[in-house]
Amino acid sequence: MTPAASGALALAAQVRAGERSAASVLEESLAAIRGRDPELHCFNALADAHARERADEVDRLVASGTDPGPLAGVPVALKDNICTRSAPTTCSSRILAGWTPPYDATVVSRLAAAGAVVVGKTNLDEFAMGSSTENSATGPTRNPWDTGRVPGGSSGGSAAAVAAGMVPVALGSDTGGSIRQPAALCGVVGVKPTYGVVSRYGLVAFASSLDQIGPLATTVAEAAAVLEAIAGHDDRDSTSLEQAAPRCSEVLDDGARGLRVGVVADFLADASPDCTGAVRAAADVLAGHGASVEEVALPELLHGLSAYYLIAPAEASSNLARYDGVRYGLRVDAPDVETMNGRTRAAGFGPEVKRRVMLGTYVLSAGYYDAYYAQAQRVRTLVARAFARAYAGVDVLLAPTTPSVAFPLGSKTSDPLEMYLADLFTIPSNLAGHPAMSVPFALGEGGMPVGVQVLAPALGERAMFRAAAVVESGADPRARGPVPARGAR
């Protein structure tokens, strides 16, 4: 049995009680990675030597009678845009190949304080720009349910590693759905917290007003435990919220009685029958547990996609200007600095990153700023106001996470606009800074998992997790990872 199959909370309880050693749990995780990663390519790098040191430290604390923390001995994988001293942080880009940061991200330090053991760094779309984990300089990740399909993106490596049973939990980042979309396509739970609840210190920036770190796990309870471990104010992040992070684990057994749930009607028409059916069935589960359920009209949310693909590239063009061949990363020498900058970026960035940087630079340029970037920010405000209108009457919203189940590898790489549509239902929460999560609920076309999305207002994580726990209780158990090894079907 792999650590993921045992469950993060069960493993932590066994390690804290001295019934299992953190070292043995780690070795099981590393064995699972060695067994399946050659087929799936979830990991860019392992930190096995450092992980063994950490596991031994956890075991010493247990032996001395000291509690190592709520995630004692739990193996965790980190998306490769989260800075670590124990392994390179490359963002799956040639421009950062082999770069090892001199510091750990805040979330890494907080995982260590909770007793977790980081095992390695997972593959992603380069600089988190993509929805399939095919835009990676190290090659694509494959979906463990069907290796001929994508795992989603950009946190595809993290989602697939959990779904394949390599680790029980992982961290990803979510700028426009990059935790929730791969979670749905891989049959795991994925959470994007309220903007500012989890520190971004040490997260390599894509779009700074949108990025958030969050957990991927096999159950809602495990996701809540990891979120509580990494959340909280951080002086090193100027966007970090001052108030205490919501405690979600304590509401998981509260049920749905009294909850007001709104189903986002505008999304159902753009989703496949599998995804629409899952949302309606999840709404029935909540109603059966005492929630009041109604459909709500939020047509403004459908404009979020267009606004996002102006705002995010604009912020990316600014953030990625630091990769100039001077301070760190790749350098392609040339007779002068300007030529060196250009050659370095041409060689270091992949096609999707170049596309978004050029788009972002264009919309910020003189003469186009008001027509594009400023207009996109006005649409962002409309999205936030639409959410406010909805939450005046409901506590949480229910929607599809994705328009369809996981699609075949290579089927959308030639059409960027078609790929962008994979984020249609997840982007609005990022624009508003609200929390949202995907819960595996059903099986759809080809026996692939279907996720249902639960959305809440800012700092509404407790209501969100409460609803998610009820949705999970009514889900098809076959829709959740970890899944055994098997080839493409």
Residue 24 pLDDT > 70, yes or no? yes
pLDDT digits (tens, 9 = 90+) for 314-372: 999 999 999 999 988 999 999 999 999 999 999 999 999 999 999 999 999 999 999 99
**Across residues 193-209, what is the average pLDDT?**
98
The C-alpha atoms of residue 212 and residue 197 are separated, in whole angstroms, by 9
Pairing type for strands 292-296 and 260-264 reads parallel
CA–CA gap between residue 444 and residue 480 (Å, rounded): 12
Confidence tier at 485 by pLDDT (50, 70, 90) = confident
pLDDT of 253: 98
* pLDDT of amino acid 488: 40
Q: Is the pLDDT of residue 152 over 70?
A: yes
Task: Give yes or no for residue 486 having a pLDDT over 80.
Answer: no
Q: Please enumerate in sequence order all residues whose Cβ is within 8 A of that of 49, keeping only pairs 6 or more positions apart, or say none.
A: none
Per-residue pLDDT tens digits for 233-244: 999 999 999 988
Residues paired with 214 in a beta bridge: 172
For helices 8-16 and 220-230, the axis angle rounded to 10 degrees is 60
pLDDT at 16 over 60: yes
Backbone torsions φ then ψ of 258, nearest 5 degrees:
90, -15
37-46, 206-215, 222-231, 365-374 — which is least confidently predicted?
A: 365-374
Q: Are 401 and 183 in contact (CB under 8 A)?
A: yes
Kindly state the average pLDDT of the residues 12-36.
98
Q: What is the pLDDT of residue 179?
A: 98
Contact 437, 190 (CB under 8 A): yes
Q: Per-residue confidence at 162, pLDDT binned at 50, 70, 90? A: very high
pLDDT of residue 328: 85
> Which amino acids are annotated catalytic?
79, 154, 178
Residue 303 in this model has a pLDDT that exceeds 50: yes
Average confidence (pLDDT) over 102-116: 98
Reported confidence tier of residue 222, pLDDT bands at 50, 70, 90: very high
Compute the average pLDDT of residues 144-162: 98
Residue 244, classified by CB atoms within 10 Å of its CB into exposed (0-12), middle (13-18) or buried (19+), is: exposed
Q: Where are the domains of the chain?
A: 3-251+470-479, 302-377
> What is the CATH code of the structural domain delimited by 3-251+470-479?
3.90.1300.10
Residue 55: count of CB within 10 angstroms of its CB: 25
The model's pTM is 0.97
487 has pLDDT over 50: no
Residue 448's pLDDT is 98
pLDDT > 60? residue 412: yes
The pLDDT score that the predictor gives to residue 5 is 65
435-479 pLDDT, tens digit each: 999 999 999 999 999 999 999 999 999 999 999 999 999 999 999
As a whole number of angstroms, the longest Cα–Cα distance in the chain is 71
∠ CA(114), CA(241), CA(220), 5° rounding? 50
Check whether 489 has a pLDDT greater than 50: no
Band (pLDDT 50/70/90 cuts) for residue 484 is confident
Residue 6's pLDDT band (cuts 50, 70, 90): confident
The chain-wide mean pLDDT, for the chain, equals: 96
Question: Across residues 361-390, what is the average pLDDT?
Answer: 96
